[in-house]
Structure 1
């Protein structure tokens, strides 16, 4: 709850309120406010002397309504998302609302258990655009119509004063940090998360450019640009690409060995060798922050061509954002690994029956072929040499079959020694040739396989197509194994 100074003078009784006096008291005080927040606090304090209500003023700050003044409640909402609650509805529509029974309004946000009615009016700028709301919640009888008129008059005067003082308060650093951290947790992919991290770094630092250098198996590389890169970012990318992996590696190593570094904004001091490409690109202000782990993360570079002096608090916030972004990225990668494990056969790494069922439901009649594959004599291997030998056979065979398939073909393990390949072809003969390649690949491992091929027909269920492929496979088994057969149409 935000405290506000109460105007001097005797407190009136709640009944027979002189509404003109209410408006006059607030109007007299508003010109003395030196900030928008102070104007809101004095408005709430003056109103509280006349209205036995929960009173609050919420102003638009970035993309939310922030409570900047309130009284009359044990708790108030700090911020409210757009269009949430009665306050959000009023702000979005720029039209006031009188709710005589809050229990009948699905948008009501409860603050007190005894609240029965609510009046909410928009705070408008002189052009009629909403910049916030004035909200009154009642727990007893009230002349709602009369108070609605008074609230609208006060909101108009308050809006004019807020605009005269420069508008609603700017988003604080802590609010920016919270907003960006929320965006990190909501990012659906690693690419989206890195884009959010670069946006956050630019926003918090007020510098014009942010670039990620990411570690990788082939050495550090520049992260993908987010949207159309600006002129400075384009120059940075060009210089770093021309410089090669050496400066990038040294940047990453320096950041992870010594921590965050930043320029003091003083001219005439040459950069170290690894930062020379940035200086050639026109960078005059730079914050370099380690990102993640040395072998898997990289370094976040936040830069500007203006000669500035970043303050330590801002640099610390960029460090915190980088840490939060890396944590969110690590969680995304962990979830991706878990999803992969859940959809893959733990022995061979191939996708298994769950994903296979989804895939065959998307087959195209006449264009998709199902290749049912069975290892010849697999039971004998298990019985003679044991299950470990059988497992090694399956793993080696899975790798050989994958290697024989084309880019885009898919191989699934659907049983003990049973596999199915799903391939896109232009005609049945093409599917047979690929099946023959699989049998040749199996022979090179010292084993043989039997393969049945079927192409789905119009109106045929995927299950029936697979059954025809199985029937063709068992026909191969009956005729000596180690071969391919195309199922009858």
Structure 2
């Protein structure tokens, strides 16, 4: 004999509908079957709930709540919000994805294609996003607006035996009604300001350069604050400077930037110092209230509403200014979001600066400060045939210095020689340390004789330090690999040494 009970809204059961107790001979186990669901009743109950919803989010929540009374499944509704599918409502589950990138998982696939999916075995579907370990089957259907455009998905996941065929038809019908109700209520919910900030924070973290980072930060400031312009005033060697615009500025935004750029350095200093001393501030944009002295330039440019937020430390940071020519009333929440944004932007900027310093250290020889083999390899790979000369340089008798006076004396010799050779080169020529006492200069020349003259200038510079060098010169040939050119320069160097050292030899084809 079987008795049917129905789950209530709190996850329990009502004796009026669904759960079974199988008392057949030899069996005394109680288990859920949910086989006798009246699907027409499911659709009616959800439809009634939908008609009472006053917002899109409420429509989603009530759909999930009503459906959960009949379906022993993990249920969720995800709608397109900006560039992601964001979970608007879901039943209790071990895990719920707050947002899913488009085309990710079964839900993303269904949304992107507009074609529903009935998955009888989730382990066999490579797109399945695991929420709980006992899920076996999934139904996902697109939620469309009345014009047939997908705006989200309705997703149901089961962890026990279920006849998916009637549930798929019910899910399609409910998704159609949900889409129509959401459209009638104005469409999916707008992205909140905190969600915008999170999205922009991700873009700032991924920014590869300072320019990209500042662009992302200023774009975020405008979009999250809803004010029309954003400017960063950052510390510089000669005082505060106005950061570059995120995009081509509007006429008014250009006027604000120009006013700050033309303002006396002392005024910008006070603007930055005020923010760091007293913290973030904002105007209420009320007419008849005179600005403080450090804000005069902004007021003359037409700023009527302003949020001012400190960025970074007082001695190395600056201030984020978010402004508008309209008379508006920012609230403390807006200021708090700008403070979070400024903190994230500075942290990302510090990360980029640290990475740049590490890259610079990795590309420099720690003894002489010259670039070494890693950057040298990339440089000679870009050599121009007939125009780029490689000068292989070796210190004459260097081993005897180490053997006689020790390695510290040898190190001092190399440092002094590196400085002398750098000073003898022209602007734009590059000097690399490629080994113990081996150097290579990469120079751009019009003809081989010019390369020889520069090499002879290097030998003269070395002699003035009390040492001598031998130099081999080679110019890349058309189609010649860079390592072959370097090999010819080395061979020319050995020839110079065999000819008596302290001289230059040019490699000929």
State the TM-score, normalizing by the size of structure 2: 0.89
- Mapping 1:373-452, distance limit 5 Å: 373-382=393-402, 386-443=406-463, 445=465, 447-452=467-472
> What's the secondary structure of 1:369's corresponding residue?
strand
Distance 1:445 1:199 in 2: 55
Counterpart for residue 38 of structure 1 = 58
> What's the secondary structure of 2:156's corresponding residue?
strand
Counterpart for residue 218 of structure 1 = 238
Distance 2:253 2:419 in 1: 43
Counterpart for residue 239 of structure 1 = 259
Distance 1:27 1:422 in 2: 77
> What's the secondary structure of 2:326's corresponding residue?
coil
> What's the secondary structure of 1:328's corresponding residue?
helix
Distance 1:4 1:175 in 2: 30
Counterpart for residue 129 of structure 2 = 109
1:317 equivalent among 334, 337, 359: 337
Distance 1:129 1:94 in 2: 8
- Mapping 1:72-91, distance limit 5 Å: 73-91=93-111
Counterpart for residue 193 of structure 1 = 213
Distance 2:10 2:212 in 1: 42
Q: C-alpha displacement at 1:196, in angstroms?
A: 1.3
Counterpart for residue 153 of structure 2 = 133
Distance 1:252 1:162 in 2: 47
Counterpart for residue 26 of structure 2 = none
Distance 1:308 1:81 in 2: 35
Q: C-alpha displacement at 1:232, in angstroms?
A: 2.4
Q: C-alpha displacement at 1:444, in angstroms?
A: 5.1
- Mapping 1:363-378, distance limit 5 Å: 363-378=383-398
Counterpart for residue 30 of structure 2 = none
The answer to whether the 8 Å contact 1:126/1:160 transfers is yes
RMSD: 2.5
Q: C-alpha displacement at 1:443, in angstroms?
A: 4.6
Distance 2:77 2:469 in 1: 76
Q: Indicate yes or no: 2:497 matched with 1:477.
A: yes
Distance 1:219 1:477 in 2: 53
- Mapping 1:325-344, distance limit 5 Å: 325-344=345-364
The answer to whether the 8 Å contact 1:291/1:323 transfers is yes
* CA deviation map 1:9-53 (0-9, x unaligned): 944562232222211111111111122111111111111122221
Q: C-alpha displacement at 1:142, in angstroms?
A: 2.8
Q: C-alpha displacement at 1:148, in angstroms?
A: 1.6
Q: C-alpha displacement at 1:379, in angstroms?
A: 4.2
TM-aligned CA distance change 1:441 to 1:234, over 3 Å: farther
> What's the secondary structure of 1:137's corresponding residue?
strand
2:181 equivalent among 154, 161, 167: 161
Q: C-alpha displacement at 1:370, in angstroms?
A: 0.9
Counterpart for residue 77 of structure 2 = 57
TM-aligned CA distance change 1:30 to 1:294, over 3 Å: same
Distance 2:408 2:339 in 1: 49
Counterpart for residue 298 of structure 2 = 278
TM-aligned CA distance change 1:225 to 1:395, over 3 Å: farther
Q: C-alpha displacement at 1:385, in angstroms?
A: 5.1
The higher radius of gyration belongs to: 2
Which piece of structure 1 moves more, 97-106 or 263-272?
Answer: 263-272
Distance 2:125 2:112 in 1: 17
The answer to whether the 8 Å contact 1:67/1:79 transfers is yes
Distance 1:329 1:315 in 2: 21
TM-aligned CA distance change 1:67 to 1:287, over 3 Å: same
Q: C-alpha displacement at 1:305, in angstroms?
A: 0.8
TM-aligned CA distance change 1:400 to 1:260, over 3 Å: farther
Distance 1:43 1:423 in 2: 73
TM-aligned CA distance change 1:48 to 1:186, over 3 Å: same
Distance 1:219 1:449 in 2: 46
Distance 1:371 1:49 in 2: 82
Q: C-alpha displacement at 1:380, in angstroms?
A: 5.0
* CA deviation map 1:299-346 (0-9, x unaligned): 111111111121112112211111111111111111221122122111
Which piece of structure 1 moves more, 353-362 or 61-70?
Answer: 353-362
Q: Indicate yes or no: 2:46 matched with 1:26.
A: yes
Q: Which runs of 4+ in 1 moved over 6 A?
A: 3-9
* CA deviation map 1:281-315 (0-9, x unaligned): 11111112121123332211111111112111211
The answer to whether the 8 Å contact 1:122/1:134 transfers is yes
Q: Indicate yes or no: 2:177 matched with 1:151.
A: no
Which piece of structure 1 moves more, 264-273 or 476-485?
Answer: 476-485
Counterpart for residue 253 of structure 1 = 273
TM-aligned CA distance change 1:422 to 1:201, over 3 Å: same
The answer to whether the 8 Å contact 1:348/1:398 transfers is yes
Counterpart for residue 269 of structure 1 = 289
Counterpart for residue 297 of structure 1 = 317
Counterpart for residue 462 of structure 1 = 482
Counterpart for residue 31 of structure 2 = none
> What's the secondary structure of 1:155's corresponding residue?
helix
* CA deviation map 1:251-270 (0-9, x unaligned): 22322233222212222222
TM-aligned CA distance change 1:295 to 1:374, over 3 Å: farther
The answer to whether the 8 Å contact 1:53/1:137 transfers is yes
Q: C-alpha displacement at 1:121, in angstroms?
A: 0.8
> What's the secondary structure of 1:46's corresponding residue?
helix
